[in-house]
């Protein structure tokens, strides 16, 4: 899915993902193949702010 999105829209400067090892491995493989690398940020709770709003 990410490769298809990059093909259609170009590579982003940065991506924030959860702590999934599969997501990290996928982005690192893409970075190995690309001329410019994508900055990778990881967050334990990617949608924490949305979860708080749902509790109200």
- What is the per-residue pLDDT for 49? 53
Q: Which two tokens stand for residue 23?
A: 């997501």
pTM for the model stands at 0.62
Structural domain count of the chain = 1
Residues 6+ apart with CB under 8 A from 23: 17
Q: E strands along 1-56, which residues?
A: 14-17, 39-42
- Residue 49 C-alpha from the chain's centroid: 18
User: Containing domain of residue 10, as a range?
Assistant: 2-55
pLDDT tens by residue, 3-55: 888 889 988 899 888 887 888 898 899 889 888 889 999 887 766 555 444 44
CA distance from start to end of the chain: 33
């Amino acid at each position: 899915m990410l490769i298809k999105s990059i093909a259609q829209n170009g590579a982003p400067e940065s991506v924030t993902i959860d702590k999934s090892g599969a997501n990290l491995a996928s982005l690192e493989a893409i970075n190995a193949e690309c001329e410019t690398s994508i900055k990778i940020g990881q967050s334990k709770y990617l949608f924490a702010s949305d979860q708080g709003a749902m509790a109200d």
